[in-house]
Amino acid sequence: MSPIRCIIIDDEELARKLLETYAGKVEHLEYKASFENPLEALSFLKKNDIDLIFLDIQMPELKGTDFAELILKSNTRIIFTTAYSEYALEGFELNALDYLLKPITFERFLKAISKFENKLMPSKDTTGITVKSGYDLYRLEYRDIFYIESDSEYVHYHMADGKKIMSNQSLKKLEELLPSNMFFRVHRSYIVNKTWVKALKGRDLLINEVNIPVSDSYYETVRKNMF
């Protein structure tokens, strides 16, 4: 899997240092930065793609729960860190991955990382993919996916049974996860299942009577691999 890019936001230096040390011990964690001030972290997030934030709740400049609401629609996931157990419910209502109560042990830290890997990232196997939509998990068979459409920070899975399932994912990451012998990126907003392609009409692919645009940069690859 790709490295998990993470940052730490905590107004206590010792807490930041501890989490930095833990992150440095996990090979697939790519530690990027730590912040005492959450407002500085917001500026950082505007310019950098981050997968995971270790976020303190009780901070003077901006509460961690308020910070979480500001980035609620992004692809970035949050693990709350705090010394106060009474914030746990509020944290989970914000769809946090986990809630680490200080003092945080390395074993508990690893369990939280495992939740990111196993529950919220799509799982890759030979027959299908598991995706998260809201609070629900869906098991989608590859053969039943017509195409996947990007919509800002979300994607829509268009299924053979007519259903459309929305998930907070990026098309770029899906392109890496999906089997390359079946799924092809044909446009900055579309990945298609080769199995269901019926025709190439001009610059459009025909899938279930739906025209999917093919951009110039993908056209030759699409023509050679699908026809």
Q: pLDDT tens across 99-109, in order?
A: 899 999 999 99
Number of structural domains the chain divides into: 2
Per the CB < 8 A criterion, the answer to whether 8 and 40 are in contact is no
Which tens digit of pLDDT belongs to each residue from 12-43? 999 999 999 999 999 889 999 999 999 999 99
Which pLDDT does position 130 carry in this prediction?
A: 87
- Looking up residue 10, the CATH number of its domain turns out to be 3.40.50.2300
Beta bridge partner(s), residue 197: 207
Q: Are residues 144 and 97 in the same domain?
A: no
8 residue type, one letter:
I
194 three-state secondary structure: helix
Q: Are residues 36 and 136 in the same domain?
A: no
Q: Are residues 49 and 113 in the same domain?
A: yes
Angle at the Cα of 131 (from 125 to 134), degrees rounded to 5? 165
Domain-ending residue, one of 120, 135, 159: 120
Residue 89 in this model has a pLDDT that exceeds 60: no
Q: Are residues 56 and 12 in the same domain?
A: yes
Q: What residue numbers bound the domain in which 115 lies?
A: 4-120
Residue 114 tokens read as 């495992």
**CB count in 10 Å sphere of residue 196:** 18
Domain-ending residue, one of 120, 155, 186: 120
- Average pLDDT over the chain, rounded to an integer: 88
Q: Which whole number is the average pLDDT over 166-170? A: 90
Measured in residues, the chain has a length of 227
Q: Are residues 111 and 139 in the same domain?
A: no
User: Alpha helix (H) ranges present in 26-127?
Assistant: 38-47, 64-70, 88-93, 106-115
Domain-ending residue, one of 62, 93, 120: 120
Residue 46 tokens read as 């505007």
Q: Are residues 62 and 152 in the same domain?
A: no
- Which residues of 10-163 form beta strands (DSSP E)? 29-35, 52-56, 77-82, 98-101, 123-124, 128-133, 136-141, 145-151, 154-159
If pLDDT is split at 50, 70 and 90, which confidence band does 185 have? very high
Q: Are residues 131 and 184 in the same domain?
A: yes
Task: Check residue 37 and give left, alpha or beta (phi > 0: left; psi -120 to 50: alpha).
Answer: beta
Q: Are residues 183 and 150 in the same domain?
A: yes
Per the CB < 8 A criterion, the answer to whether 188 and 215 are in contact is yes
pTM: 0.54
Residue 72 tokens read as 């609620």
Residue 195 in this model has a pLDDT that exceeds 60: yes
Q: Are residues 159 and 185 in the same domain?
A: yes
Q: Are residues 98 and 176 in the same domain?
A: no
Q: Are residues 32 and 98 in the same domain?
A: yes
- Count of alpha carbons within 13 angstroms of residue 161, beta-carbon side: 6
- Looking up residue 181, the CATH number of its domain turns out to be 2.40.50.1020
Q: Are residues 110 and 136 in the same domain?
A: no
